[in-house]
Structure 1
Amino acid sequence: MTSSFPALDIRAPHGAGPQAVLLDMDGTLVDTEGFWWDAEVEVFGALGHVLGEEHRDIVVGGPMTRSAGYLIEVTGADITLDAVRDLLNAAFLRRLERGVPLMPGARDLLTELAARSVPAALVSASHRTVIDRMLRSLGAHHFAATVAGDELERTKPHPDPYLAAAARLGADPARCVAVEDTPTGVASAEAAGCRVIAVPSVAPIGPAPGRTVVGSLEEIDMALLRTVATAPVPRRVTGPAGAPAVP
């Protein structure tokens, strides 16, 4: 599956609800954040290094390059970034062969979006090979567009992935609702101007103006999406390189 889609013609009346819903993958729709950590522990263990739990919150939800680079730095592992990324992707894909557990409420949310003709996009820091494998479980037909972390020069926490997803759907980011589970993902979506529903997984996410925090996807329905979509979004502060301030 490719990530190139023609822009859709979305003409929902203003205030009727979100033009589109933009969804993170790992830890949001699929219960795989633990898979990534297990893969990292396995790969660095084979290199002779033990990863402590104190590193887990730092790498969770981050792009592969940042997470792998950080782990190389703190362990001093004698391996290149490209090599460790290949090993991590391979270890993660092996775990997917055992089955991909969906998060509670994921299937119902995707089904409701389709039934209400609300376009959905998958926006992930994972690589294209991982996303395409995951779509077998999620159902590729649920998504009008997908954005992978290795397809952009900058991925989360920069706004680029969510801006790209909205553009591919022909939607205004300010009228999109993003659903995320990590502070890194939330920062990316908010920097893009999206309204955000946070469903914290491994790392906690605090409340903030314009952000809705829920305990599970099971709490997200069209009524909540409409409420979030019509709420004002405060201006976000970004750093000098365009990266948002992570809460």
Structure 2
Amino acid sequence: MNPELRAVLFDMDGTVVDTEGLWRQACAEVAAELGLRPGEVDPDHVHGRPAEHTAAHLRRPGVSLGWISERLTEGFARLVAHGVTPLPGALALLDGLASAGVPTALVTASSRRVVEPVLGVVGAERFRLVVAAEDVVRGKPAPDPYLLAATLLGVDPALCVAVEDSPVGLTSALTAGCRAVYVSRERAVPYGVLSVNSLEKIDVTMLRRLVSGEISVG
């Protein structure tokens, strides 16, 4: 018997909602407060990273990591509260999975202070559960967020598909043992990973075929 899809685990920022620009803006604002020039901020330490990681990258002598992390989270939450937009295909895919009886979870490096206004737009009812930054000791790229989501759903990670848009999140999902779809609009696609340029290209049948092995990648 072929393996069957048991759950789909979604990254949030840049995958379900268009918030990547807001996160970059929040990081730029804090970097400016710390006296850093734009060229001194490495995007690899921003995109898909938990606030604590980015805070460590921005840290300057005499400034605590906790203060920087809080400023990042506070700024991001403020910007998100002004309004976010679901990315094309996100709501249709979530509703299609619900109709097919496939549970979904939101697995994000963002704080719950950021998640709550997003759920107000997307609809909290569209997710069985949420794993946010506060729920794990080790965030992405460690496998812990995806392992926790699978555990709480009571499913084998190997029967889950993670939908991600960053190399950091992809590493987290693959290390946890999940199958993955990489939503890549501009970034290079890692070898052996199924990639699409929009959630509009994903449906329940594709995800089932990915888990069953009918879709071969790499």
TM-score for the superposition, normalised by structure 2: 0.92
Paired letter, 1:144: R
Question: How far apart are the structure 2 equivalents of 1:54 and 1:71?
Answer: 7
Deviating above 6 A after TM superposition, structure 1's stretches of 4 or more consecutive aligned residues are none
Q: For 2:141, what is the secondary structure of its paired residue?
A: coil
Tell me the secondary structure at the aligned position of residue 196 of structure 1.
strand
Partner residue of 1:46?
A: 33
Question: What amino acid maps onto 2:58 in structure 1?
Answer: L
Deviation, structure 1 residue 34: 1.0
User: What is the CA–CA distance in structure 1 between the aligned matches of 2:23 and 2:164, rounded to whole Å?
Assistant: 17
Cα pair distance change 1:162/1:232, threshold 3 Å: farther
In 1: Cα distance, 2:81 partner to 2:106 partner: 21
1:23 aligns with 2:23: no
Cα–Cα, structure 1 residues 232 and 125, in superposed 2: closer, same or farther, change >3 Å? farther
Shift of 1:17: 4.0
Q: Distance in 1 between matches of 2:120 and 2:112?
A: 13
More helix by share: 2
Superposition RMSD on alpha carbons, in Å? 2.1
Give the AA of the match of 2:201: E
2:66 aligned to which of 82, 95, 101: 82
Mapped pair 1:139 → 2:120: no
Q: Residue 94 of structure 1 aligns with which residue?
A: 78
Q: For residue 51 of structure 1, report the CA deviation from its aligned partner.
A: 2.3
Inter-CA distance 232–226: structure 2 relative to 1 (3 Å threshold):
closer
Q: Is the 8 A contact 2:89 2:200 kept in 1?
A: yes
Cα shift at 1:182: 0.3
**Contact 2:182 2:189 survives alignment (8 Å):** no
CA contact (8 A) 2:12 2:107 kept: yes
Query: Which position in structure 2 is the counterpart of 1:217?
Result: 199
Structure 1: any 5+ residue segments left out of the alignment?
Answer: 1-13, 234-247
Return the alpha-carbon distance in structure 1 between the equivalents of residues 152 and 31 of structure 2: 37
Q: 1:205 to 1:163 in 2, by over 3 A?
A: farther
* 1:171-210 deviation digits (Å, cap 9, x = unpaired): 11000010000000000000011000000256x242323x
Secondary structure at the counterpart of residue 154 of structure 1: coil
Matches of 1:232 and 1:53, distance apart in 2: 45
User: Within the alignment, does 1:161 sit opposite 2:124 as a pair?
Assistant: no
Aligned residues: 216
Indicate the SS of the match to 1:52: helix
Tell me the residue number matched to 1:68: 55
- Deviation string for 1:148-174 (max 9, x for gaps)? 112211111111111100011111100
Task: Tell me how far 1:16 sits from its aligned partner.
Answer: 7.0
* TM-score, normalization by structure 1: 0.82
Judge conservation of contact 2:3–2:159 (CA < 8 Å) in 1. Answer: no
